[in-house]
């Protein structure tokens, strides 16, 4: 069994009716919802209120990555919305993350500030070749996690495969938020560093982000309930 409050459902749609149908199909379960670029850019901030009105906690996933001043002020604006979690890219650097953390603190309602380490669509080989970061992706994730922690973030996004390394490096109370979750019979799509929901739980993740295996299922509620049962 997987506790529902560990699951964040990524509502990656741009059609308003589809969004409302999805939210309604999840109602009654204590899952979080994730508002990402696709839905936020298409429909705007009102979708956050719509998720909150239905009783869901909201992770606003816009992955800010810019100069420190722009990110600090951007986060300050986002913190006016009733969000429970927000994120930036750790690759933006320590000064940028510090400005984001200061903005969260100054907002008064303090959503969790989470930094993306290496996207779950990135392999070690790709990271070596394209980013010119040598070594294993797990080491880069652990490095960015420590940088994020030292800069005032509450946790990081990684794949479940790096959770143990992050907890060893940053301590158990530093949050891990893990996409790259695929039930055994699901297509990987563009995700590369993946585990099943049960393996993510065993590896000690705090929150698992799941999108298409639920949102593209013929019956999203049933798909969620299968995952909750550990199937
Ligand atoms: O920050 C994220 O949420 C994120 C980071 C990452 O490294 N990988 C990743 O997949 N995500 C998000 O998690 C969700 C995963 O969706 P599915 O691949 O459909 O399960 C998407 O909304 C991604 O934008």
Distance CA 124, CA 135 (A): 8
User: Any idea which residue has 């938020």 for tokens?
Assistant: 177
Choosing from 52, 63, 73, 98, the catalytic residue is 63
Per-residue pLDDT, 117:
98
pLDDT band at 109 (very low <50, low <70, confident <90, very high): confident
ipTM: 0.99
Structure tokens at 143: 């490095």
Nearest CA to ligand 1 atom 5: 119
Number of structural domains in the chain = 1
Q: Which of 10, 22, 91, 215 has the most ligand 1 atoms within 8 A of CB, as the residue to mutate?
A: 10
Distance CA 51, CA 94 (A): 32
Q: What is the CATH number of the domain that holds 172?
A: 3.20.20.70
> Are 194 and 181 within 8 A, CB to CB?
yes
Tell me how far the alpha carbon of residue 115 lies from the centroid of ligand 1, in angstroms.
13
pLDDT band at 231 (very low <50, low <70, confident <90, very high): confident
Nearest to 47 by CA among 7, 89, 10, 101: 10
User: Any idea which residue has 């500030």 for tokens?
Assistant: 113
Tell me how far the alpha carbon of residue 231 lies from the centroid of ligand 1, in angstroms.
21
Assess if residue 231 is contained within a domain: no
Distance CA 90, CA 147 (A): 8
Q: Which residues line ligand 1 (CB under 6 A)?
A: 10, 12, 36, 61, 63, 87, 116, 119-120, 157, 179, 189, 191, 209-212
Assess if residue 82 is contained within a domain: yes
Per-residue pLDDT, 37:
98
> Are 82 and 52 within 8 A, CB to CB?
yes
Distance CA 30, CA 21 (A): 17
Tell me how far the alpha carbon of residue 55 lies from the centroid of ligand 1, in angstroms.
22
Structure tokens at 228: 């909750």
Structure tokens at 91: 């690759």
Assess if residue 230 is contained within a domain: no
Indicate whether this model's pTM tops 0.90.
yes
Name the DSSP letter for residue 216: T
Assess if residue 18 is contained within a domain: yes
pLDDT tens digit sequence for 156-199: 999 999 999 999 999 999 999 999 999 999 999 999 999 999 99
pLDDT tens digit sequence for 66-108: 999 999 999 999 999 999 999 999 999 999 999 999 999 999 9
Residue 66 among the catalytic residues: yes
Assess if residue 229 is contained within a domain: no
Range of the domain at 192: 4-224
Assess if residue 196 is contained within a domain: yes
> Are 59 and 78 within 8 A, CB to CB?
no
Secondary structure (3-state) at 207: strand
Choosing from 6, 57, 61, 84, the catalytic residue is 61
Q: Which of 62, 153, 160, 179 has the most ligand 1 atoms within 8 A of CB, as the residue to mutate?
A: 179
């Amino acid at each position: 069994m997987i506790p529902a409050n560990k699951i964040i459902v990524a509502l990656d749609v741009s059609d308003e009716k589809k969004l409302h149908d999805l939210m309604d199909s999840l109602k009654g379960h204590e899952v979080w919802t994730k508002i990402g670029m696709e839905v936020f850019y298409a429909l705007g901030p009102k979708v956050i209120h719509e998720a909150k009105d239905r009783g869901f906690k909201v992770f606003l996933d816009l992955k800010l990555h810019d100069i420190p001043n722009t990110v600090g002020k951007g986060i300050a604006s986002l913190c006016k919305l009733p969000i429970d979690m927000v994120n930036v890219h750790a690759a933006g650097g320590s000064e940028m993350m510090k400005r984001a953390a200061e903005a969260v603190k100054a907002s008064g309602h303090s959503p969790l500030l989470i930094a993306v380490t290496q996207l779950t669509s990135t392999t070690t080989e790709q990271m070596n070749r394209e980013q010119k970061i040598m070594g294993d992706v797990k080491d880069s994730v652990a490095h960015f996690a420590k940088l994020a922690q030292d800069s005032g973030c509450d946790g990081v996004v990684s794949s479940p495969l790096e959770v143990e390394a992050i907890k060893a490096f940053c301590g158990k109370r530093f949050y891990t938020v893990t996409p790259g979750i695929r039930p055994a019979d699901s297509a990987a799509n563009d995700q590369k560093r993946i585990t099943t929901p049960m393996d993510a739980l065993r590896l000690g993740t705090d929150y698992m982000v799941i999108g298409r295996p639920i949102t593209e299922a013929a019956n999203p509620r049933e798909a969620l309930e299968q995952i909750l049962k550990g199937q």
